[in-house]
């Protein structure tokens, strides 16, 4: 960054943008100009700070002051008090939920203390639309080093030694994948970046592309150099408009600087990157499906082998890696494999980005060393469960993962431990559930997702998941039997064993893990006709609490089946024989007079 | 040449006529026309020399390639787990209430189509929805009224 004395960094991630960070920037700029500070202070958009719960966020550098929930109207105070007089605006600082103290330096926040940011190193620090800022933080240094000093084999060895494993879910050693692709003879090869992130609960790839697109471009070029490819493709979902735009800007800048295109840095190495947009199909995240989609076919997976490394896009050897995997590469090459391999656990090196969502205080993106426990992630970084409720479960790995109970809170997170615990790393989504969530419904939810996203090519997945879903539907409707649990388990195992691709092979995991960890909840549904969490509407009754009902007639007017009767200004009643349990009255009542029992 | 023919030809000139270009061409048509009509699929097939049944088969695989007529603004409400946990039903209710259409329907004036979709990757800001290419997050019934009123004004 140039010679400004101070920088105001505003989150320009989509989350905060939607919450008017554009306005804030404008307003800050106006006040800075008004007070003649424009030569000293620079206002820039950066990528997501990860602390989305409290967005929009404004960070003042160099003192690291971290303002949360900023409104455009706060700009005046920030400029006049902080920038001019050097007094941080107390009321906009983050308050520690435990100590209730305001924390001004973001380094003092628990949210950041336990984090180690490698893949997210630049997110929230640089302006993602400026290649100069990326370069000023060692950007494109690794590419220069590889092209100038290292042979492809030496580079691959470095990646292999680092122990980096794929962050897209499978956890395949990245260096080994590059080596395999390199060793296949072919006139043409491809580097593919998988940015089709579709796991419910995951949004790290979007944040990296929005906050630091150059790191992915640089790594793809390095990969091309190593495996002998001149063409790269980024397959990105169309639902990420901002990420696509930033990537396009970054690609153009890299071309202008001669870091993409022909004869890169005068070394004779050519590399070009193209963008392909997804069209709303989750299964296209699977690498063979992704390749077929890029070929213009239906995005259906095919049997492996042959692996894409041998025969991929247009039948040519293709190296597919995830966005986060790529984002790690430049750092490994800059700091060395031995530095990287010291971080993490024995078999899982480095860090992992997790997306925290659900009933947790600090939702957002975090990056921690492998081996951090779930407790640290959920309580220390995540700030615990929302509204002081009890922790019930955390779902990792999206529709292919499982639900872990509090017994696993002290398990160090890495690829192998999560699999042992009956879940998966997946892409790193973590959805936290509290005591109000019904685990049978959660399992049903994931299956609904799988059902819709199954490509339908093979019958275990297409038909089997449908049957699983029907059984769960019966249970949540109060028509389940105890034998259903055995049927669920049997069918789940058949689906796992016989499906063609990873989607089907892992789709029963949410069912199996909830049966394993929350069997009593299933039994309460089938034996007693009760939903302990009070979520399964069919097992509940809507009633009007007479004392609270003001007779406003709102419920009466909204009930779709006319099950509510009563005089104006008199308590109303619900006729249980007519009620279809749609819950409209519950949602409409302004006086909390509708009870579920 | 009618408008669809020239649109398809323009896109094929831009992206090429090989099979790999099929998706970009179809995406281009959807961007302009909002959906792939039978006629436009046949035109794509002719222009790119791909069997029409293949074009249809590919188009129907992808949920963002609509093959049914759709309104000017396509609302896609996320119905996946986090959004569902955070009250997506109320969001749907308010949209249905305001536009007087159900999921899968289009308003009679062809302005709005209401659809549900799977996780949009905005789970930390749930509930979320897309209107065409715009993302809206942290939705509440009040916000919905505000957003939709904006679109209703815009489209007059
Ligand atoms: C159903 C399914 C969905 C997947 N979705 C993604 C995805 O969204 N992003 C991703 O990077 N990998 C996804 N994968 C994993 C890819 O197939 C592939 O393993 C990965 O892109 C390889 O990159 P890595 O070695 O860097 O992890 C998915 C796999 C399956 C079976
Ligand atoms: S397992 Fe499911 S998603 Fe995978 S190929 Fe079979 S039907 Fe398609
Ligand atoms: S679950 Fe709705 S955006 Fe992810």
pLDDT digits (tens, 9 = 90+) for A394-434: 999 888 899 999 999 999 999 999 988 888 888 899 999 99
pLDDT at A169: 86
What the block records as the tokens of A425 is 């790393």
Q: Which of A242, A437, A455 sits opposite B85 (nearest CB)?
A: A437
A534: how many CB neighbours lie within 10 A of its CB?
A: 15
User: In a structure prediction context, what are the per-residue pLDDT tens digits for chain B, which is 156 residues long?
Assistant: 899 999 999 999 999 999 999 999 999 999 999 899 999 999 999 999 999 999 999 999 998 898 988 889 999 999 998 898 888 988 999 999 999 999 999 999 999 999 999 888 888 888 999 998 888 988 999 999 999 999 998 866
| End-of-domain residue from the set A311, A336, A361 | A336
Nearest CA owner, ligand 1 atom 22: A321
Nearest to A357 among B26, B123, B130 (CB): B123
Number of domain units in chain A: 5
Would you say residue A469 lies in a domain? yes
Q: Is A121 part of a structural domain of the chain?
A: no
DSSP three-state, residue A565: strand
| Residues A294 and B20: beta-carbon distance below 8 Å | yes
- pLDDT for A583: 81
Q: What residues of B are designated binding site? A: 78, 83, 119, 123
**Residues in chain B within 8 Å Cβ distance of A452:** 118
The SS3 of residue A558 is helix
CA-A282 nearest atom, ligand 1:
3
- A469 and A383 within one domain: no
Q: Please report whether residue A162 resides in a domain.
A: yes
Which ligand 2 atom sits closest to the C-alpha of A283?
3
Asked if pLDDT for residue A162 goes beyond 90, the answer is: yes
The reply to whether ligand 2 has any atom less than 6 angstroms from the CB of A60 is no
Radius of gyration in angstroms for the set of CA atoms belonging to chain A, rounded to a whole number = 26
Strand partners, B129: B77, B136
Q: What is the pLDDT averaged over residues A68-82?
A: 89
Compute the distance between CA of residue A247 and CA of residue A232 in angstroms, rounded to an integer: 13
Comparing CB atoms, the residue among B22, B27, B81 nearest residue A445 is B81
* Residue A150 and residue A213 in one domain: yes
Percent of chain A clearing pLDDT 90 (strictly above):
62
Ligand 2 touching residue A148 (CB < 6 A): no
Is residue A535 assigned to a domain?
A: no
**Residue environment code for A435-468, b if the CB has 16+ CB neighbours within 10 A, otherwise e:** eebbbbbbbbbbbbbbbebbbebbebbeebbeeb
Whether residues A220 and A164 share a domain: the answer is yes
If asked whether residues A376 and A282 sit together in one domain, one would say: no
**Is A406 part of a structural domain of the chain?**
yes
CA distance A125 to A45: 9
Collect all residues of chain A within an 8 Å Cβ-Cβ radius of residue B124: 15, 52-53, 203, 355-357, 363-365
The answer to whether the beta carbons of residues A368 and A397 sit under 8 Å apart is: no
Pairs from A368-372 (Cβ < 8 Å, separation ≥ 24): A368/A114, A368/A115, A368/A116, A368/A413, A369/A116, A369/A343, A369/A344, A370/A343, A370/A344, A370/A345, A370/A412, A370/A413, A370/A414, A371/A344, A371/A345, A371/A412, A371/A413, A371/A414, A372/A114, A372/A412, A372/A413
In a domain, residue A119? The reply is no
CB contact (8 A) between residue A197 and residue B23: no
* Confidence at residue B21, expressed as pLDDT on a 0 to 100 scale: 96
8 Å CB contact of B62 and A279: yes
Pocket of ligand 3 (CB under 6 A): A 200; B 78, 80-83, 119-123, 126, 128
How many other C-beta atoms can be found within 10 angstroms of the C-beta atom of residue A73?
Answer: 10
Assign residue A38 the CATH number of its domain.
3.40.30.10
Ligand 2 centroid to residue A501 C-alpha, Å: 5
For ligand 1, the distance from its centroid to the CA atom of residue A286, given in whole angstroms, is 5
User: Which structural domain range is residue A69 located in?
Assistant: 6-109
- The pLDDT, as a whole number, for residue A57 is 87
What are the residues facing A60 on neighbouring strands? A8, A65
Do A162 and A341 form a contact (C-beta atoms < 8 A)?
A: yes
What's the CA gap between A377 and A26, in Å, rounded? 35
Residue pair A51/A117 in contact (Cβ under 8 Å)? The answer is no
Q: Report residue A236: phi and psi, to 5°.
A: -125, 145
Give Cα separations from A372 to A330, A387, A411, A414 (angstroms): 23, 25, 8, 8
- Say whether A339 sits in a helix, a strand or coil: helix
Nearest to B125 among A52, A281, A298 (CB): A52
**pLDDT score at A16:** 67
By most ligand atoms within 8 Å of CB, the mutation choice from A179, A285, A312, A332 for ligand 1 is A285
Domains annotated for chain B, with CATH where assigned, are: 3-59 (no CATH), 73-154 (3.40.30.10)
Task: Report the DSSP beta bridge partners of residue B131.
Answer: B75, B134
Residues 6+ apart with CB under 8 A from A591: A548, A549, A550, A552
Sign of the Cα pseudo-torsion (A242, A247, A252, A257, in order): positive
Name the domain boundary from A336, A368, A385.
A336
Residues in A closer than 8 angstroms to B125, CB to CB, are: 15, 18, 52, 363
B73-78 vs B129-131, strand pairing mode: antiparallel
| Residue A113 DSSP SS3 | helix
In a domain, A395, yes or no: yes
pLDDT score of A2: 52
pLDDT digits (tens, 9 = 90+) for A439-467: 999 999 999 999 999 999 999 999 999 99
Which pLDDT belongs to residue A1? 44
- Indicate which ligand has the atom closest to the C-alpha of A298: 2
Same domain, A100 and A35: yes
What is the per-residue pLDDT for A534? 83
Residue A303 Cα to ligand 2 middle (Å): 10
Mean pLDDT of A486-503: 96
Helix (H) or strand (E) holding A584: helix A584-588
| Residue A582 sits in the same domain as residue A515 | no
Q: How many angstroms does the Cα of residue B77 sit away from the middle of ligand 3?
A: 9
Q: How far is B134 from chain A (nearest CA, A)?
A: 8
Q: Single out the residue of A84, A196, A457 nearest to residue A302, CA to CA.
A: A457
Residue A167, ligand 1, Cβ within 6 A: yes
Give A22-64 pLDDT, tens digit per residue.
888 888 999 989 888 888 888 888 877 778 777 788 888 888 8
Tell me the three state secondary structure of residue B117. Answer: strand
Query: Each residue of A165-199: pLDDT tens digit?
Result: 999 988 999 999 999 999 999 999 999 999 999 88
Does A313 share its domain with A411? no
Q: Which of B76, B85, B120 to mutate to test the pocket of ligand 3 (most atoms within 8 A of CB)?
A: B120
End-to-end CA, chain A = 60
Any atom of ligand 1 within 6 Å of the Cβ of A300: no
User: Do A260 and A392 reside in the same domain of the chain?
Assistant: no
Measured CA to CA in angstroms, residue B135 lies from A25, A168, A556, B78, B122 at distances of 20, 24, 35, 11, 9
Give me the sign of the Cα torsion angle B9, B11, B15, B17.
Answer: negative
- On average, the pLDDT of chain A sits at 91
Last-in-domain residue among A528, A557, A576: A528
**Cα separation, B61 vs A280, whole angstroms:** 9
Q: Does A534 touch chain B (CB under 8 A)?
A: no
What are the two backbone dihedrals, phi and then psi, of residue A13, each rounded to the nearest 5 degrees?
-70, 165
Least reliable range by pLDDT among A44-58, A131-145, A350-364, A513-527? A44-58
DSSP 8-state symbol, A84 = I
Asked if the model's pLDDT at residue A294 lies above 90, the reply is yes
Tally the residues of chain A.
Answer: 597
Do A198 and B93 lie within an 8 Å CB cutoff?
no
Q: Are A21 and A56 in contact (CB under 8 A)?
A: yes
Chain A from 301 to 320: CB within 8 A of any B CB: 314
- Residue A280: inside a domain, yes or no? yes
Token duo for residue A571: 């308590």
CA A176 to chain centre: 26
Separation of A457 CA from ligand 2 center, angstroms? 5
Cβ-proximal residues to A514 (8 Å cutoff; 6+ apart), any chain: A402, A403, A439, A440, A442, A443, A521, A522
Q: Tell whether A279 lies on the interface with B, counting CB pairs under 8 A.
A: yes
Task: Report helix, strand and coil shares of chain B as percent, to nearest 5.
Answer: 50, 10, 35
pLDDT higher than threshold 90 for residue A363 = no
Both A385 and A422 in a single domain?
A: yes
Residues A427 and A447 occupy one common structural domain:
no
Of A159, A322, A425, best ligand 1 pocket probe by most atoms within 8 Å of the beta carbon: A322
Do residues A423 and A463 both lie within one domain?
Answer: no
The chain B residue lying nearest A299, using CA atoms, is B61
A357 at interface of B, judged by CB pairs closer than 8 A? yes
The CATH number assigned to the domain holding A259 equals: 3.40.50.11540
Residue A104 has pLDDT above 80, yes or no: no
Ligand nearest to the CA of B125: 3
Residue A4 has a pLDDT of 81
Domain match, A181 and A207 both: yes
**Which candidate, A30, A96, A35, A41, places its Cα nearest to that of A68?**
A96
Count of CB atoms situated within 10 Å of the CB of A543:
16
């Amino acid at each position: 960054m140039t010679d400004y004395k101070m920088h105001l960094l505003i989150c320009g991630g989509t989350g905060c943008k939607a919450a008017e960070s554009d306005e804030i920037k404008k307003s800050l700029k106006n006040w800075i100009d008004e007070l003649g500070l424009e030569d000293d202070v620079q206002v820039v958009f950066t990528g997501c700070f990860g602390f989305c719960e409290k967005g929009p966020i404004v960070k003042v550098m160099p003192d690291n002051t971290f303002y949360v929930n900023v409104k455009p109207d706060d700009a005046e105070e920030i400029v006049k008090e902080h920038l001019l007089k050097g007094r941080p605006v107390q009321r906009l600082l983050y308050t520690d939920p435990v100590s209730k103290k305001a924390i001004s330096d973001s380094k003092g926040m628990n949210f950041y203390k336990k984090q180690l940011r490698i893949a997210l190193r630049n997110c929230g620090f640089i302006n993602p639309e400026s290649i100069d800022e990326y370069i000023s933080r060692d950007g494109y240094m690794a590419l220069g080093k590889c092209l100038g000093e290292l042979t492809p084999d030496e580079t691959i060895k470095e990646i292999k030694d680092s122990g980096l494993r794929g962050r897209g879910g499978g956890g395949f050693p990245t260096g080994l994948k590059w080596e395999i692709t390199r060793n296949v003879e072919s006139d043409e090869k491809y580097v593919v970046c998988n940015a089709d992130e579709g796991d419910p609960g995951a949004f790290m790839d979007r944040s990296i592309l929005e906050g630091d697109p150059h790191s992915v471009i640089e790594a793809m070029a390095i990969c091309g150099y190593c495996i002998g490819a001149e063409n790269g493709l980024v397959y990105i979902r169309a639902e990420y408009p901002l990420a696509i735009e930033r990537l396009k800007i970054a690609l153009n800048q890299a071309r202008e600087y001669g870091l993409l295109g022909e004869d890169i840095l005068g070394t004779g190495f050519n590399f070009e990157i193209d963008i392909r947009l997804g069209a709303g199909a989750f299964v296209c995240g699977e690498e063979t499906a992704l390749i077929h989609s890029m070929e213009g076919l239906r995005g259906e997976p095919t049997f492996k082998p042959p692996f894409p490394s041998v025969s991929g896009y247009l039948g040519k050897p293709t190296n597919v890696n995830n966005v986060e995997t790529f984002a790690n590469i430049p750092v490994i090459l800059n700091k060395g494999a031995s530095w990287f391999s010291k971080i993490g656990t024995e078999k899982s090196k480095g860090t992992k980005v997790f997306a925290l969502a659900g009933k947790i205080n600090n939702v957002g993106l975090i990056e921690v060393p492998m081996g951090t426990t779930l407790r640290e992630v959920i309580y220390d970084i995540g700030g615990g469960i929302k509204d002081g409720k009890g922790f019930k479960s955390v779902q990792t790995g999206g529709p292919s993962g499982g639900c872990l109970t509090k017994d696993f809170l002290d398990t160090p997170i890495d690829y192998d431990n999560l699999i042992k615990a009956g879940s998966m790393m997946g892409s790193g989504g973590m959805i936290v559930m509290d005591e109000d969530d019904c685990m049978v419904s959660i399992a049903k939810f994931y299956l609904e997702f799988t059902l819709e996203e199954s490509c339908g090519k093979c019958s275990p997945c297409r038909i089997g998941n449908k049957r699983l879903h029907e059984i769960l539907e019966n249970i949540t409707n109060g028509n389940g039997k105890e034998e259903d649990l055995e049927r669920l388990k049997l069918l789940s195992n058949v689906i796992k064993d016989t499906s063609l691709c990873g989607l089907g092979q892992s789709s029963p995991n949410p069912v199996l893990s909830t049966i394993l960890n929350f069997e009593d909840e299933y039994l309460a549904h089938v034996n007693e006709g009760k939903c302990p969490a009070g979520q399964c509407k069919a097992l509940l009754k809507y009633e009007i609490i007479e004392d609270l009902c003001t007779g406003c007639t709102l419920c009466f007017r909204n009930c779709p089946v006319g099950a509510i009767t009563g005089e104006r200004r008199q308590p109303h009643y619900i006729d249980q024989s007519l009620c279809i349990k749609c819950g409209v009255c519950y949602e409409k009542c302004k006086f909390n007079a509708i009870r579920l029992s | 040449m009618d408008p669809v023919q020239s649109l398809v030809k323009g896109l094929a000139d831009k992206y090429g006529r090989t099979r790999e270009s099929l998706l970009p061409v179809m995406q281009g048509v959807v961007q302009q026309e909002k959906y792939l009509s039978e006629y436009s699929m046949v035109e794509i097939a002719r222009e790119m020399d791909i069997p029409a049944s293949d074009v249809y088969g590919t188009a129907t695989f992808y949920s963002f390639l609509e093959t049914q007529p759709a309104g000017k603004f396509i609302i896609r409400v996320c119905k996946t787990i986090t959004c569902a946990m955070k009250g997506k039903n109320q969001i749907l209710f308010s949209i249905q209430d305001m536009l007087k259409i159900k999921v899968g329907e289009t308003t009679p004036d062809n302005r709005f189509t209401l659809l549900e979709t799977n996780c949009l990757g905005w789970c930390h800001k749930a509930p979320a929805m897309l209107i065409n290419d715009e993302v809206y997050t942290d939705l509440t019934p009040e916000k919905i009224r505000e957003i939709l009123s904006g679109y209703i004004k815009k489209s007059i």
